[in-house]
Each structure stands twice: as structure tokens, then as C-alpha cells.
Amino acid sequence: MKKIRFVAIILVLFGLGLAYFDFASESKHFAILEKVNISPKESLQNFSLKLGLDLKGGTQLIYTADTSKLKTATDVNDSMNALRDVIERRVNLFGVAEPLVQVEQSSMLTGGQRQQRLIVELPGMTDVNKAVAMIGATPMLEFKVERPKAEMDAINKAQQDYQKLADTAKKNGTQIDQSQINPLVLEDAYLSTGLTGKYLKKASLVFDNQFGSPKVSLQFNREGQDLFAKITRENVGKTVAIYLDGAVISAPRVNEEITSGSAEISGSFSVDEAKTLVGRLNSGALPVNVTLLSAQSVGATLGGEAYSAILNAGIWSLLIVMLFMILFYRLPGLVASISLSIYVAIMIAIFKLLPVTMTAAGIAGFILTIGMAVDANILIFARMKEEIKKGHNVFDAVYEGFHRAWPSIRDSNSSTIITAVILFWFGTATIRGFALVLGLGVLVSMFSALTVTRTLLLSLGVGSDSKLSKFLFGSGIKN
């Protein structure tokens, strides 16, 4: 008994410690805490809850990525991950607090491929135009090589034919017959090599030794270095064009294979222009083209009101559930309420430590798990009352109640966890937040019900068949 009571004390102290951490690590001061002298601690501010745009306010941008030129699913995944990294790096340079940049695969098929989307959430930034300009300023860097002579001859002929059609139409004052235009007229003189800003390690400003003109030096990572060596080896005596945002800015001739993994962009740059280009390249050269699909802004006031409403709903639901448990199950209900408080403290601590970005959907999932957290207790207490009616004393009834209720608890929670996993795997970002909170809630609720509640009940040492014991473990409505 002493060992059980010692463990019970440890669990209660553990819950109180987590509760203190949950409150003291909040960036805002809660008025209710003034009475117990708990105030936010600067040393714990890094663990404050991370709120999503719908609760904090800010801007959300959704981009679609053009992955049609990528051949395999692995290439698509690698490029989208690289895209996420460079956008996140660029956003961080602008000092946006806690930005969220994530890749999402839509269910819509485009050209036989699932549409790849990039979701950028910028908390605190409500100027949509500024946010779009911030992301749109990121350059698209690409290296291309000359087309084979036969292809270039066909393109040149198509362009000459188009020029004749244009001259004739202008002379006659008519429109060009679109059916007579060769599609090759739109083809570029250079072919893509796959060497893009994805492989860029660093860009820096250098000056020409002979004329002192500014140039931009590029240093590739290991994979890019091997790819650049292959490109230069196969195109000695030819030009390699460097494209920035779809325009040729330099087309140097390759004299020999370059194995150092470095290249230079030269042109009629001023020093300021070269510095700007270096900054843009270092902040993130996009590995694939992106198109803005939607942009929306949530005001800070609206987000604050939503957060307050959800917080009040959570507090009231917790109190009502506790009141129900105490009235209906008496002493076990009180123990379940203490266990539920520990459950809430554990969940909030997990949200802070992982950290989990809390959205309205995520908090809704958390409030839902508050009711689910006592579901296992209800099953256990119902079994306990059945055992007491059979003539067992209270101590034995507690053991039997937990033992007999376990299969039902296991099966019901397992099905919920499976549902949460499916929602997380196939759902959108909002659904994933709900599924993550739901899954975590079920796992922690099993711990609070099977370990915390059981330990606290056994630590009470109630084992007699007295009227007091029967009253404490009886039903508040019907014995």
C-alpha cells in the first residue's frame, strides 16, 4: 500500500509540475493566475503555444508547383522538399515569426500527376501584397545547353517562316493564320539540364581581375558539382546558358570540363545589382516554377476573438465533464476528475514541447478528447459497480473493474487511433492537425485512465464493506 501511495503522490506532483510549466511558459499573462502567483517566466517563453493563422492572424499563400518536367516520383518529392526549404529560408530572412511552410499533394490529377502544392503561412503579417512580393521575389535559376544542330535548324526555319507570315499579314492588313504557325517557333534554343537552384550551395560577389567589373560566383553542393562537371564535359566548345527567372543572363562558352563545382554569372551588372542578385540567390533559388493559387488574410482581432471563444469552450467542457463524473460516480468520479486534470496538463505540455501548431480544428480535436478521456473511466466504473453488486469488496472491485474493462477500452481506442492515422495520412493540413491531436489525445487518455486513475483509487485504501464505502463508490443517481 505504501508503494502505491508513493506512486500516487509522484503522479499528482508530476501533474502539478506540468500545470505550472503550462501556465508559466505562456507569453500572455492569465488573470486567473494572479491569485496563485503564477506569472509567465522569460526563460520558458520559447515553449509558449504556437497558434495557427486562424487564431493568431496573418497571411496564407497557396502555390502550385510545375513538376511536369520531372520524370519520377522521387524527383518530384526531392524538388518539393527543396522548394519548401528555400522558401522557408527566404521567409526567415524577412524576420517573420514562426512561419509554416509545408508541401501538400492535392487529390486533383494534372497531366497524369497529382497536383503539388506549397502552403506558406505567415503569422502576424496581414499585408497580402507584401507577402506575395516577398515570395515572388525568389529567383528561378537554371542551366541549359545548346540544342543539337538538327533541332536548331528546324527551330530557325520555323522562326523564319513565322517572320514571313508576320510580314505578309502586316502588308495585307490581316491577322496571321494560326493554323500555319509551326509550334517549333516557340521552342527555346537551349535544352534543360536539370541543374537548377536546387543544387546551389552559395552565391557570392566577386570582381573581374582585368576590368574590375562585378560578377556573381556560384558554388554548387556535391550533387550539383557532379552534374555541372558532366554538363561541361559533354559540351566543350559550346555555350551553356544561365537562366534567371526564364531569361538568359549569361551564356559563357565551355573551354574545358569544370570539376570544381563553381560557375560565374557575368554581365552588365552594377555593384548594387550584383549584390541584390547574390542576396536573392542565397535566400533561395527555386528548383521548380510556382504559381500563386490563392492568398487570404486573417485579421489579428478576428483570430484573437476565435481563440478566446475556443478557450472558453474548452474550460466549460472540462468543468462540466468533471461535474458530471463527480455527481454520477462520487469518489471514483472525483479521482477521474483529478486524472482528467493531469491528462489536460500532459496534453498541453506535449503541444508546447513538440511543438504542435494549434489551429481551430486542432483545439476542437483536443476538446473532443476531453470527453473521450473519461470514456475509459466510465467503462471501468460501470464494471466496478457490477463487481460490488456481486458481493466483492471495494478493493477487489477496483482490480476486477480495470481487468474486465480493458478489452473494451483497447478495442474502442484502437479503432479511434486507426481513424486518426488514416485522416493524418490522407487529409489536408487542417485535417492533419485535427488527426494528430486526436491520436495523441487517445494515447494519453489511456495512460491517464489505466495508470493514473487506477493508482489513485488503490492508494485510497478503501476496502471495507461499510455503508460509507458503498456510498462513496455508489452511483449519484441510482445505487
Q: What is the mean pLDDT of the segment spanning 111-139?
A: 72
- The residue type of 25 is S
Write down the CATH number for the domain with range 58-138+292-297: 3.30.70
Would you give the distance in Å from CA 326 to the centre of its chain? 39
pTM to 2 decimals? Answer: 0.59
**Count of CB atoms situated within 10 Å of the CB of 268:** 8
Q: What is the mean pLDDT of the segment spanning 346-357?
A: 85
Q: How far apart are CA 228 and CA 250, in angstroms?
A: 16
- Note the pLDDT tens digit of each residue in 407-464: 888 888 899 899 989 988 887 666 877 888 889 989 998 898 888 988 888 887 665 5
Q: Which helix (H) or strand (E) holds 159?
A: helix 149-172
Under a CB-based contact definition with an 8 Å cutoff, are residues 165 and 181 in contact? yes
- Domain covering 2-51+299-472, topology: Multidrug efflux transporter AcrB transmembrane fold (1.20.1640)
Residue 128 confidence (pLDDT): 74
What are the φ and ψ backbone dihedral angles of 411, each rounded to 5 degrees? -70, -45
Question: Which is more confidently placed, 140 or 224?
Answer: 224
Summary mean pLDDT of the chain: 79
Residue 32 binned pLDDT confidence (cut-offs 50, 70, 90): very low
- The residue type of 180 is Q
Residue 269 has pLDDT above 90, yes or no: no
Residue 38 has pLDDT above 60, yes or no: no
> What are the domain boundaries of the chain?
2-51+299-472, 58-138+292-297
The DSSP bridge pattern shows strands 357-358 and 50-51 to be parallel
